[in-house]
Structure 1
């Protein structure tokens, strides 16, 4: 998939898939929000509001209140790609989020997911 297509994915279509993924593995939407909040700085209320908007991933990350400076500690493979080797900065942020949500769904402890 071309990067432009990935960047154009609507948050409102992606977020419910994230919720379904973590809940099917016994985690909660509140935990998902905590993980996304840690990475992006968005409040729970703003994330809920974005869930019914036309915001795409490019805008979602561009308007993030505070991208976590510890995001660089996120390493590993997601979707067959090593996140720390992703060249495009926006795509790397998207992969960081995917990796954190994968860790949540796999039952990893929250303090480890949040690199505490």
Structure 2
């Protein structure tokens, strides 16, 4: 049986599984078949490719975190291997907004 996983944007390096997955299950995501390396709960993310430690992880076409360790293709991606970057993103977006505001004056 092949389980579907949803990749929302071409920039995404993770996909969301459409049902609970057991390790060893074939996953169809974005036209590619990969194998789940571990159990993954419904609605959780699977890595579509190897992700280096420190690399930004994209879902919905935007960064949702930074890999806190290397993540193998087919691995479960969640809080155990994904660093929260909310503050970093807020600071980045605020600086971009300030630049645009200064330029408009």
Structure 2 length-normalised TM: 0.28
Looking at CA atoms only, which structure, 1 or 2, has the larger radius of gyration? Answer: 2
Report 1 or 2 for greater relative contact order, CA contacts < 8 Å, sequence distance ≥ 6: 1
Structure 1 length-normalised TM: 0.26
Instruction: Give 1 or 2: higher helix fraction.
Output: 1
